[in-house]
Amino acid sequence: MRSSRSGIDGVQHILQKWLSARGMDTKFSRYRVWQFWEAVVGTQIAARAKPVRLRGAILEVRVDHPVWMQQLQLMKPRILAKLNEQLGEHLIDDLFLRHGRTGTSRTESEQHALPSSWQNAPLSEGEQRHIEETVAGLADDEIRRHLRHLMEMQARLDKARKAKTDKK
């Protein structure tokens, strides 16, 4: 009697042949990007930017803030390289960044429900190191300074939200 694993492997092989015969195997492979988006870009960026659709080899990403769009524009070559590395071949040619709600943004009333002290909360050494490593590759001092500030504020806000959730 055949094991269920070999049956699954057989179905996978048949499905791959069927997709390939219809020229859909590459398209199907591209959609795997949703599985590892967060692992490639990190949780902080994934909270602000979500892939929403594929147009050929162009991945459309919805970003919830213009500053994050600018940062992702600068990081585009690195993100594309990591995505294609995860896919195992060059399947994504470009990222099309579009401003809009990602579904994870907090409403203004939720943000105001937090105590104002969150803006001055200290960051751990690890958090500071992560931010410094993230902005280190930026050549422009002004952009690096603004992005560092933005990431610090985001980290503080995330800590305040987590503390508020933990109290409930």
pTM for the whole structure: 0.54
Q: Domains in the chain, ordered, with CATH?
A: 34-104 (3.30.300.180), 106-168 (no CATH)
Distances (CA, A) of 33 to 20, 113, 154: 19, 35, 25
Q: What is the pLDDT along the chain (168 residues), one digit of tens a residue?
A: 445 555 556 666 676 676 677 667 677 778 788 888 999 998 889 999 999 999 989 999 999 999 999 999 999 999 999 999 999 999 999 999 999 988 754 444 444 466 667 778 888 999 999 889 888 887 778 777 877 888 888 888 888 877 777 776
Per-residue b or e along 114-135, where b marks 16 or more CB atoms closer than 10 Å to that residue's CB: eeeebeeeeeeeebeebbeebb
Cα end-to-end distance, the chain, whole Å: 54
> C-alpha dihedral over 116, 118, 122, 128, to 10 degrees?
-130
